[in-house]
Structure 1
Amino acid sequence: MKQDLVSIITPAYKAAAYVGDTIASALAQSYGEWEMLIADDCSPDDTRAVVAQWAERDPRVRLLAMTRNGGPAAARNAALAQAQGRWIAFLDSDDLWLPAKLERSLAHAQANGAALVFTGFRRISFDGSRTGDYIGVPRTLTYRQLLGNTAIATSTVLIDRAQCGEVWMKPVFYDDFACWLEILKRGFVAHGLDEDLMRYRVMPRSVSRNKKRSAQEVWKAYRQVEGLGPLTSAWHFTSYALHALRKYRQF
């Protein structure tokens, strides 16, 4: 692993309209020691062409062309397999970082000896015309606390592989949530940096906005991935739902 390098993991599918802005937000970072691995999951639009154009401009941007559509977990794992950095950051193909995101996250991780750092953020509408309220984060989260919390947004996460080892996504619906739980289950604590450093794009008809489907998948994560009993699952699910309700009352 290259000690100062941040490997940015970006799965992409039908992202031609937004991925250029996402890449531009990485290029605008005040911390410049990074590589961006964009795994295109067989998009039917011009996503690969857009990414290839940006890669020609800056060699830190790399296109990984998946040979078959496998979903976000497979795309993230393809990028993780190529990652050379000690630090792993996640940036989804329709989200944006503010310029100080990597610098501030790294400083927070190093100051706290943290294996996993996450930050605050705001939502934006799909066309960028509307910006929502600031969504803050708790100072820390343990494994048990995260089971009942929605605080970790994927595109805010920074992971130190020197501490927690290799990072992989499980082939489940909420692969990111399962990954954070797996790391914290080893005894690590996630450290929240309560600063506005990311923009989460709310897409029309996105699965994450389908509350019934989301609830079903969170329950499956408790029962099938984490192996929790029904009563324990119900306890954590109630907390999770209350946190989600408070979050989604905001835009």
Structure 2
Amino acid sequence: MENTNDNSGLVSIITPVYNASRFLEKTAESVFKQTYTNWEWVLVDDCSTDNSWEILTSLQKQDSRIKVFKNIENLKSGKTRNFAIKKANGTYIAFLDSDDLWHPEKLSIQIAFMINNGYNFTHTSYGYVDEEGNTIKSTFRVNKKVTYFDLLKRTEISCLTAVYNANEIGKFYMSEHARKQDYALWLAILKSGTPSFGIYQELAYYRQVKNSATSKKYKLILKHISFLKETQNFSTIKALYYTSYWMINGFVRYFLK
């Protein structure tokens, strides 16, 4: 895809950083290798205690498209992403966590897909890698279209694959809920009437870190019910109804693949 230097096609990549020194340079490498070059990368250090900040300032010196900021207090990932979104200048808002990876053509394919079809919200299939970067599990394949009620039943949109057009639908921000801030954001966009369209091709790679909270979803059933009640104003019965779908799809996704 041919790129221009004006903001009409600018992609703002949003990345919160906390003690990410182990993986940050590999993540940066996947951004630098993007065939779509009209991007800015907004990284916010959330009071890391390792040398993440030193890596960020070094990256900024390497490429003028990189913008780095540092929180004065630890705000957690949701508020940190929101700060980055406020600083973003792009038409498109994309998300990439500090330990995840992108396929080199991820942005080229996804932005072309959005422009050619007039889509304002999209996501892609993605793979899994371990801490050493080795492929694990099978690719998580997405559906062609996802609505609000679809996402309540199946957590299909992953943060490292999502892109939305801020010029067309406005800037949407993360929930300040303790968990699942990105999931709440996707639900908010979908609930506004903007569906998300999926790209079947695997264009991103989620890093599965040992002992991470997201690797133990079977323990999060009660928290998921609370999340739906608090963020979607669901009754207990309605929250249980959608959580049952979430549990079944989650079981298939994480234990049978």
TM-score (norm 1): 0.96
Aligned to 1:247: 253
2:223 to 201, 217, 220: 217
Aligned amino acid, residue 25 of structure 1: S
Partner of 2:81: 76
TM-score calculated relative to the size of structure 2: 0.94
Amino acid of the structure 2 residue aligned with 1:174: K
- Equivalent of 1:160, from 155, 160, 165? 165
Q: How does 1:52-201 map to 2 (within 5 A)?
A: 52-172=57-177, 173-201=179-207
Deviation at 1:213, TM superposition (A): 4.4
Q: Indicate how the Cα distance of structure 1 residues 16 and 224 shifts in structure 2: closer, same or farther if over 3 A, else same.
A: same
Paired residue type of 1:139:
K
Which amino acid is the alignment partner of residue 32 of structure 1? T
2:142 corresponds to which letter in structure 1? V
Matched, 1:24 2:29: yes
Q: Is the Cα–Cα contact under 8 Å of residues 12 and 41 in structure 1 kept in the other structure? A: yes
Equivalent in the alignment of 1:227: 233
Q: Secondary structure at the match of 2:79?
A: helix
2:225·2:236 contact (CA, 8 Å) conserved in 1? Answer: no
SS in 2 for 1:85: coil
Once the two structures are superposed, what CA deviation does each residue of 1:26-58 show, in whole Å capped at 9, x if it has no partner? 110010000000111000000010111111111
Check the 8 A contact 1:207/1:213 in 2, yes or no. Answer: no
Structure 1 match to 2:3: none
Q: Which residue of 2 aligns with 1:3?
A: 8
Deviates more, 1:85-94 or 1:57-66: 57-66
Q: 1:249 Cα shift?
A: 2.3
The Cα offsets for residues 166-218 of structure 1, whole Å up to 9 and x where unpaired, read as 12111111100000000111111110111110010001111111224432332
What percentage of aligned pairs have identical amino acids? Answer: 28
Structure 2 spans left out of the alignment, 5+ residues: 1-5
Structure 1 residues 58 and 250: alpha-carbon distance in aligned structure 2, compared to 1, 3 A threshold: farther
Separation in 1, partners of 2:29, 2:223: 33
